Amino acid sequence: MNIHSLVQFLAISHEAETASELVGELESLLNIHAFRYYGIWFHDKVFADTTDFMLTGRWPAGWRKHYAARKYASIDPLRRMLAVTQRPFRWKDAIAAYQDDPQQKKALRLLRDAAKNGLYDGYVFPIYGRTGLIGTMTIAGEPIDLSPVEICLFEAVARKSLWRLLELRGAAAELEKRTALEADLTQRQLEVLRLLCDGMTSNEIAKALEISNHTVDWYINVIQEKFNARNRQHVIAMAFRAGIVT
C-alpha cells in the first residue's frame, strides 16, 4: 500500500494556485499507483449543455470519440451502476452486476473495445452534494487491487479534486449558493415543491398530502419568499435549475 502519497495529496492540494498545478499533482499521484488513465466529471443539473462536463482527464487517443460514436453510454455498466450506488466500485464488479442483462452483448463489445485501448479495469468514485450526484472520478488502466484503506483515501482525493478544481475555476461558490436553496427548506416544503414541479395544482397537492388547500398555498408562498421568486412558475424554474428536482 502507498497510503503516504494519498495523504500527502490531500494535505497539499489546497495549496495549488492554478488548475494545471492541481492536475499535475493529481497525475503524479496516479502515476505512483500505476493508473495510466483518469477522468473527473462535473454533473451539473442546472444547465443542459454542461451536464457530464469533464473537468480534467487523460484517456487513450480517440477513445472518447469512439465511445460516443458507438453510443456506448446507454449500455455502459459503469454509468448504470452510478444510478444505483453511492459508494466507490470497481469496474469488474459493475460488469458482473449486469452479466445477465439483455444488453450484455453490446456491453461485452464495449469491454473488448476498451481493452484494445488499454482500459482493462479501474475504479469509479461517485461524489455527492446536497442535491445528489454532482461528480465522479474514474481511474483506469491495468488491473490493480486497491485495499479498502486506499479506496477510502482515493474517495477523499476524488472529492477534494473536484471541489478544488471548481474553486480554481470560480464555480464552487455558485454551486454552493444553488444547493443552499434546498438546505433552507423543511421536509414538508420539499414535498410540496416536488409535487408542484410535477404539475399538480394546489387542490391535487392537498389531496396527495392530506392537508388543506389553504395550507398548500401557505407552503408555496413561503417557498416563493425563500427563493425570492416572482411567482409559482419562477419557483419551479429555480427548483429545476438548482437540481432540487430533476
**For domain 184-241, which architecture applies?**
Orthogonal Bundle (1.10)
Helices (H), the chain: 3-12, 19-32, 63-69, 77-82, 91-97, 104-116, 148-168, 172-183, 187-197, 202-209, 213-227, 232-241
pTM over 0.85: no
What are the sequence ranges of the domains in the chain?
3-176, 184-241
DSSP state of 142: S
Percent of the chain clearing pLDDT 70 (strictly above): 89
Question: What is the torsional sign of CA 165, 168, 174, 177?
Answer: positive
Q: What is the pLDDT of residues 122-157, one digit of tens each?
A: 999 999 876 567 899 999 999 999 999 999 999 999
Domain 3-176 sits in CATH at: 3.30.450.80
Give me the pLDDT at residue 84, please: 82
Q: Report phi then psi at 122, rounded to 5.
A: 175, -170
Q: What is the pLDDT of residues 24-51, one digit of tens each?
A: 999 999 999 999 999 999 876 443 333 4
Give the C-alpha distances (Å, rounded to integers) separating 23 from 52, 122, 123, 228: 19, 19, 18, 38
Higher pLDDT, 23 or 179: 23
Residue with cell 408542484: 196
Higher pLDDT, 99 or 155: 155
Reply yes or no on whether the pLDDT at 202 is more than 90.
yes
Reply yes or no on whether the pLDDT at 77 is more than 60.
yes
What is the gyration radius of the CA atoms in the chain, in angstroms? 21
Which is nearest to 123 in space by CA: 163, 171, 158? 158
**What does the alpha-carbon distance between residue 16 and residue 152 come to, in Å, rounded to a whole number?**
22
Q: Which residues of 84-97 are buried (b: 16+ CB within 10 A; e: fewer)?
A: eeeebbbbeebbee
Give me the pLDDT at residue 48, please: 34
**What does the alpha-carbon distance between residue 27 and residue 58 come to, in Å, rounded to a whole number?**
9
Kindly give, in sequence order, each residue whose CB lies less than 8 Å from that of residue 208, ignoring residues fewer than 6 positions away: 195, 200
Give me the pLDDT at residue 178, please: 59
DSSP labels, 87-119: S-EEHHHHHHHTTTSTTHHHHHHHHHHHHHTT-
